[in-house]
Amino acid sequence: MDTIPSFEARRHGEPWALGTVLGYASANIFDRLAIVHADPLIGPVVRGLPSLLLGIILVWKHRTLDQLRPGSPRYMGWRVILTFVAAGMISTSGLFLYYFAIRVGGVTITIPVQETYVIWGTLIAWVVLRERIHRYALVGVGLIFAGLLGLALGQATGQPSSPLWYWAIPLGFGTALAYGVSGVLWRAGQLRGAHQSTAILLQFATSVTVGLVGLLIAGRTPALLTTNWRALAALLTSGVLSGVLAIYCMFTALRLMAVARVYAFSSLTPLAATLFAHIFLHEFLNLLMLLSIVLVSTGVILTQIFRPNDERQA
């Protein structure tokens, strides 16, 4: 099976990748609004509901439920199913960390740190999917970490979201690693024949289940009923933006383009999210922090832009 997308497919994949950026950047704002007043542990459950509904609708529309039924001619196999289950479990674990990070560090600190998932995703895709990376990626990695250092220094001399803002850095790195791994698993599953609709259904059925299990283990299930409606509405809005708009765009982009190229577009996410947070949430942003975020974005571009030769062919 040929796994190299055609030139035409790659060109059509670019608007979908941009849609992912806008969806995630907007969702970050609603997440921050919600989590100031809500238990972070309810975030993955509520945020995952719109995506789960999307998966159900798409499976019904495309009549792809038989991909999950053993004995069907289109059955994709238990290994592919487990690929998406694993992606759901890993990404939801990262989402738990994300909500704690954005609560203590705000959007301005959390999102640029989280954006390092492109590094992990690219390295893992290189090993697992054999998608080649250019030596200039090392320069990009250096710029990313230099930018993160400058961001931390700028925040330390500014007005942090909370006294514990620095905890957003290790928490954000944990989220980044989880997202990088799950992104590669998504693409691997689709390359093995999974339809986009069944992929979304499996991913978010697993995500909501893991979120509920996490609440049960922590003894925080009542928080779903006691959280005020504004916070719940904000989380649901985030779920629509990130879990319907952005995820649908990402699945489509990953089907049309290599992981490295999809992640290249995500270099715009920390810049867009930070500017949104500064404008709408009045989060502190000084010149050093802004320049550091631009440096992170530049590093991401360098990490991803030197794509394999086979992708440059028309």
Question: For 9-62, how does the pLDDT look when each residue is reduced to its tens digit (9 = 90+)?
Answer: 455 778 888 888 899 899 999 999 999 888 999 999 999 999 899 999 999 999
Q: What is the pLDDT of residue 172?
A: 93
Q: Which of 269, 279, 298 is nearest to 114 (CA)?
A: 269
Task: Encode 66-103: b = buried (16+ Cβ within 10 Å), e = exposed.
Answer: ebbeeeeeeebeeebbebbbbbbbbbbbbbbbbbbbbb
End-to-end CA distance of the chain: 19
Amino acid letter, residue 101: A
Residue with tokens 């928080």: 223
How far apart, in whole angstroms, are the C-alpha atoms of residue 253 and residue 84? 17
Q: Are 269 and 17 in contact (CB under 8 A)?
A: no
pLDDT of residue 304: 65
pLDDT of the residue at 133: 63
**205 to 86, 112, 216: CA distances (angstroms):** 12, 28, 17
pLDDT digits (tens, 9 = 90+) for 139-186: 887 888 899 899 989 998 888 888 899 999 999 999 999 988 888 888
Q: Are 81 and 240 in contact (CB under 8 A)?
A: no
Query: What's the one-letter identity of residue 98?
Result: Y
CA distance 54 to 197: 8
Residue among 252, 261, 8, 19 nearest 129 (CA): 261
DSSP 257: S
Q: Phi and psi dihedrals of 136, rounded to 5? A: -65, -15
Q: Are 133 and 260 in contact (CB under 8 A)?
A: yes
Mark residue 130 as left, alpha or beta (left: phi above 0; alpha: psi -120 to 50; beta: remaining). Answer: left
CA-CA distance, 212 to 223, in Å (whole number)? Answer: 11
Q: Which amino acid would we find at residue 182? A: S
Which two structure tokens, joined as six digits, stand for 269?
């996410």
At residue 309, the pLDDT reads 43
Contact 255, 292 (CB under 8 A): no
